[in-house]
Amino acid sequence: MALFSRKTVLSLSPLPSFFIVLLIFSLTLLVLYKVDNLASQTKTIIGHNLEPTPWHLFPAKTFNNETKIGRASKIVRCSYLSCLTKSNIGQTTFTRESEKCPDFYRWIHHDLEPWSHTRISYANLMEAKKFASFRVVIISGKLYVDYYYNCVLSRTLFTIWGILQLLKRYPGSIPDVDMMFDCMDRPIVYKRDHSAMPLPIFRYCTTPDHFDIPFPDWSFWGWVEVNLGPWEEEFESIKKGSQTIPWEKKLPYAYWKGNPYVNSPVREKMLLCNDTKKWGAQILRQNWAHEISVGFKHSKLSSQCNHRYKIYAEGYAWSVSLKYILSCGSVPLIINPLYEDFFSRGLFPKQNYLPISPDNICPSIKNAVEWGNSHPSEAEAIGKAGQGFMEELNMERVYDYMYHLITEYSKLLDFKPVRPESALEECVESLLCYADETQRGVLERSATFPSSAPPCKLPPPNAEIIKKQIEEKRKVILNKTQLIT
Ligand SMILES: *[C@@H]1O[C@H](CO)[C@@H](O)[C@H](O)[C@H]1NC(C)=O
Ligand SMILES: *[C@@H]1O[C@H](CO)[C@@H](O)[C@H](O)[C@H]1NC(C)=O
Ligand SMILES: *[C@@H]1O[C@H](CO)[C@@H](O)[C@H](O)[C@H]1NC(C)=O
């Protein structure tokens, strides 16, 4: 309209002005249609336009309380406009020396070994895509995510947040990379089915029978649905809680509290040990619905360290509870697990936990408790060693694990990563844009800053050491002559 002089506008006959109005009206409709179309096709980090993973079904997310326009404008704002402002990320200068990584970081080489000779081709990655819920591509320090399936709760949000924090922690140091992730519980790439072409899939746990590559799970940054804050906060508060009662005053039996009904045979068997006199164990059910309604009053982890023994039982797969159980300083009684997460491979029976036989749970718990009560200083030392192990695994170390895993993995790619056409850029702002108020609070509390030291020094590959450790562990667990059978 500005192109017309005032005079011409005024002199327009009614007919053309009607057409102009019609034109503007149609253009507006077209824009609205396009925006609506975009909004109904854009897959988002909180699950818009995504189906649950077919290999692990769960109720699809609904966004019933959003209006159509509200949703469309949110998607445009968060997914397309949030990351437009460029943040200036330079290289940092380190003021501290790098430390030695914990010994178990050696497992990074072990996990990537299947591709150490063949390397990872683009075709290989596209096969892995069939098992992925999202794909993470990093190019020049920028993060692009392609969403394939929805994940339960806020797993994607917190996992991607963790990767963004890693980029912030070591600016300019994370190599270009292209990775397939699954966010559901159980590993999926059986070695026996995929020996001809191992598929690289990152997830939160693995087993010796799978190629799945373990990666730190979302709960290190927080798990809002069960009121868990960032790992460092939780560790500090659990450790403090563990010190309120001295060892000899702690209750002389084993304790477990959680959800026993998660399709986990060991948890169901463990319910039968709920008798402090007969088996030395107290097994309590966590009623999450009730906890949510009373503001998580009875689920505070820091007030669950009053027992000399804490039981760890796997859930549907690995359980995020392991790190909190170990943090208590009580003797961890670990029912020998099927699943391993990235750090549990660093634990050693009789050093930082006592193994419990899954075939004989109640008598095995009873033996461990009786042994510990008659060997108080040894038992206390095992509890302290478990707590020390978790203390060493602070967030700096978690980022270092991610750093080394991603760096070693990137060396195996035999193609140059490029941004997939359908992938959206994600940045701190886009995640905070989608997060609800509670999530935003926890995300912000778990934000990191550039490291003042380079990543810890990764131990070199050594398959022999790992083989020996596995063998030693097996021997200790199976040793029938010892007290704990
Ligand atoms: C919709 O409800 C969820 C959960 O009740 C809440 O987190 C979210 O902020 C709501 N969204 C809108 C647009 O009101
Ligand atoms: C275990 O026993 C205690 C005390 O007898 C009881 O309060 C609790 O509900 C039992 N736990 C389960 C999971 O049934
Ligand atoms: C088995 O346990 C006994 C008793 O603790 C110990 O003396 C022995 O060295 C152990 N054997 C192995 C192979 O670890």
Q: Which pLDDT score is estimated for 231?
A: 97
Residue 97 has pLDDT above 80, yes or no: yes
Query: Does the C-beta of 68 come closer than 6 Å to ligand 1?
Result: no
User: What's the predicted TM-score (pTM) here?
Assistant: 0.91
Sign of CA dihedral 271, 277, 281, 285: positive
Q: What is the mean pLDDT of the chain?
A: 91
The protein residue whose alpha carbon is closest to atom 6 in ligand 2 is 284
Closest atom, ligand 1, to C-alpha of 63: 1
Query: Does the C-beta of 283 come closer than 6 Å to ligand 2?
Result: yes
Instruction: Out of 350, 471, 477, 482, give the residue to mutate to test ligand 3, the one with the largest number of ligand atoms within 8 Å of its CB.
Output: 482
Closest CA to 317 of 359, 262, 355: 262
Q: 49 in the Ramachandran plot: left (φ > 0), alpha (ψ -120 to 50) or beta?
A: left
Distance 68 CA to ligand 1 centre (A): 14
Query: Does the C-beta of 285 come closer than 6 Å to ligand 3?
Result: no
The protein residue whose alpha carbon is closest to atom 8 in ligand 2 is 284
Cα dihedral 243→249→253→259 (10° resolution): -40
Q: Are 269 and 361 in contact (CB under 8 A)?
A: yes
Quick one: tokens of 395? Answer: 């967030």
Closest CA to 436 of 41, 45, 67: 45
Distance 296 CA to ligand 1 centre (A): 20
Ligand nearest to the CA of 67: 1
Angle between helices 437-445 and 155-169 (to 10 degrees): 30
Quick one: tokens of 459? Answer: 């131990």
Closest atom, ligand 2, to C-alpha of 274: 1
Query: How is residue 340 annotated by DSSP?
Result: B
Q: Give the whole-number percent of the chain exceeding pLDDT 90.
A: 78
Complete domains list, the chain, with CATH = 103-221+398-467 (no CATH), 225-394+470-478 (3.40.50.2000)
More confident residue, 5 or 428: 428
Residues 6+ apart with CB under 8 A from 254: 280, 281, 282, 307, 308, 309, 310, 311, 333, 365, 368, 369
Quick one: tokens of 160? Answer: 């991607």
Q: Which pLDDT score is estimated for 67?
A: 86
Give the span between the Cα atoms of 470 and 465, in whole angstroms.
9
Residue 84 is which amino acid?
Answer: L
Closest CA to 332 of 394, 278, 389, 263: 389
Query: Does the C-beta of 480 come closer than 6 Å to ligand 3?
Result: no
The protein residue whose alpha carbon is closest to atom 9 in ligand 2 is 284
Give the span between the Cα atoms of 42 and 389, in whole angstroms.
43
More confident residue, 24 or 437: 437
Query: Does the C-beta of 65 come closer than 6 Å to ligand 1?
Result: yes
Query: Does the C-beta of 475 come closer than 6 Å to ligand 3?
Result: yes
The protein residue whose alpha carbon is closest to atom 1 in ligand 1 is 65
- pLDDT band of residue 57 (cuts 50, 70, 90) is confident
Distance 482 CA to ligand 3 centre (A): 6
Residue 8 has pLDDT above 80, yes or no: no
Question: Would you say how long the chain is, in residues?
Answer: 485
Query: Does the C-beta of 153 come closer than 6 Å to ligand 3?
Result: no
Per-residue pLDDT of 174-214, as tens digits, reads 999 999 999 999 999 999 999 999 999 999 999 999 999 99
Quick one: tokens of 420? Answer: 């997939």
Query: How is residue 66 annotated by DSSP?
Result: S
Closest CA to 337 of 361, 304, 314, 362: 314
Quick one: tokens of 356? Answer: 């419990």
Query: Does the C-beta of 66 come closer than 6 Å to ligand 1?
Result: yes
Give the span between the Cα atoms of 339 and 335, in whole angstroms.
11
Quick one: tokens of 230? Answer: 């960032």
Q: Are 129 and 420 in contact (CB under 8 A)?
A: no
Distance 171 CA to ligand 3 centre (A): 49
Quick one: tokens of 163? Answer: 């990767």
Q: What angle do CA 27, 30, 36 make, to 5 degrees?
A: 145
Ligand nearest to the CA of 278: 2
Distance 298 CA to ligand 2 centre (A): 15
Query: Does the C-beta of 485 come closer than 6 Å to ligand 3?
Result: no
Segment holding 44, helix H or strand E: none
Q: Are 458 and 402 in contact (CB under 8 A)?
A: no
Query: Does the C-beta of 273 come closer than 6 Å to ligand 2?
Result: no
Poorest-confidence range of 24-33, 127-136, 161-170, 234-243?
24-33
Cα 40 to Cα 48, 75, 206: the distances in Å are: 8, 9, 35
Per-residue pLDDT of 274-308, as tens digits, reads 999 999 999 999 877 777 777 666 667 877 899 99
Q: Are 461 and 469 in contact (CB under 8 A)?
A: no
Residue 456 is which amino acid?
Answer: C
Quick one: tokens of 368? Answer: 């461990």
Residues 6+ apart with CB under 8 A from 12: none
Query: Does the C-beta of 482 come closer than 6 Å to ligand 3?
Result: yes
The protein residue whose alpha carbon is closest to atom 11 in ligand 2 is 284
Closest CA to 300 of 242, 365, 376, 375: 242
